[in-house]
Each structure stands twice: as structure tokens, then as C-alpha cells.
Structure 1
Amino acid sequence: MNSFDDKRNFYRMMLNTEVVLTILDDEVNSQVSATCRDLSATGMAVEMEHPLEISTHVRVKVDSASSQVQALDVSGKVVRIEEESKDCYLIGITIEEID
């Protein structure tokens, strides 16, 4: 029997990098720091201190470690939330647009 990971259409890169996440659903477009744990062509998982609601629209900016590689700036929607421990939530985001 195939595991869930075997059914993925895109390879998921494991990361551990700081990102700036902007919550687009609130009136102020709040920005919070988060840690991107993994990234694929269609989604990402970020670790945060506070949960977000399912279907919340967000923008995530991942800075590049090299001046030769452009920073990644994506818009997406929260599709999954897992509480890993107190004040630690893993947020699954589907990528809807890459800027």
C-alpha cells in the first residue's frame, strides 16, 4: 500500500527558514513572523505561535539567502492547522499565486 507521501505530485523541500506572513483577511493586514518548515510547488507548511482559521488568506515572503536568487512572495489560503504543542501550530497553506 502506498503512503500519503508517495501520492504527492510535487517534491516537498524541507526548510527551516524565517518568513514574514501577512494575514490578508483582517482589515489591518497584520504581519507575523513564522518558520517555513517545508515548501512545494503547490503549498507550504509554516510553524507559528498562534493558530489561524481555515480559509484565511495570507501572503508569505521567503527571503533568499543569495542575491542571485529572487525572494519568494506567494499568496495562499490556510487549508490545515495542527497544534504541535503549547504555542506551536503547524499551518498548511495552499499556494494560489506567486508574485
Structure 2
Amino acid sequence: MVNFDDKRNFYRMLLNSEVNLTIIDDEINSKFVATCRDLSATGIAIEMSHPLELGTRLKAKVESANSAVQSLDVTGKVVRVEEESTDLYLVGVSIDDID
């Protein structure tokens, strides 16, 4: 682990990619599409039009634009929600598992 200028332990890769989200729920697994802003080895930042509650468990899949690179499938929980503007929220997800 290297300490970068922004005081993170892992490098954060900037993206602007579609991410397919599934909220893990006992009753209904809600699915929707959002934008992956960036990701690292331990987290993913997602832009969306509505907030999610802290602690919400979800699955996220970022498709690869290159057939030689595997898609990213992760499971995690919401650890941060920031309202950036009207109908634009930045949701921070801590990654628990990578498939």
C-alpha cells in the first residue's frame, strides 16, 4: 500500500462508466443503472439521481469496453452519501467482495 497525495492507501482510478446496480434486499432486489465516477481496490464512487441509505447492501457491475478485460463485479455497502446538486448524489460504496 502506497500513500498518495490524497492520503489514500490505494490509487483511485477515475472513470465515467455505466454501472448496473442491484440492491440486495430480502423482499425485492431493485435494479437500476447509474454512473461509476471512480473506483479503487476498496471502494467505488457512484453518481445517481437519488440517495441510498447508509448501510444499504448492493451489487455493482461495470462492463468492460475491451473483450480482453473482464467486467468488474463487486458486492459492498453504502458508507457515504453526498448531495452534489439537485437530483445528483455521490454514493460511496465500500467493497466487501469481488467476483
Matched residues, percent identical? 67
Higher helix share: 1
Corresponding position: 1:78 with 2:78 = yes
> Paired residues, what number?
96
Structure 1 equivalent of residue 51 of structure 2: 51
TM-score (normalised: structure 1): 0.92
Pairwise CA RMSD: 1.4
TM-score (normalised: structure 2): 0.92
Q: Which runs of 5+ in 2 are unaligned?
A: none
- The 5 A counterparts of 1:1-99 are 5=6, 7-25=7-25, 27-99=27-99
Cα displacement (A) at 1:4: 7.6
Cα displacement (A) at 1:25: 2.7
Hey, what's the Cα distance between the residues in 1 that align with 2:26 and 2:62? 21
1:24-69 deviations in Å (ceiling 9; x for gaps): 1352111111000000000010001110000000000000001111
Q: Which runs of 5+ in 1 are unaligned?
A: none
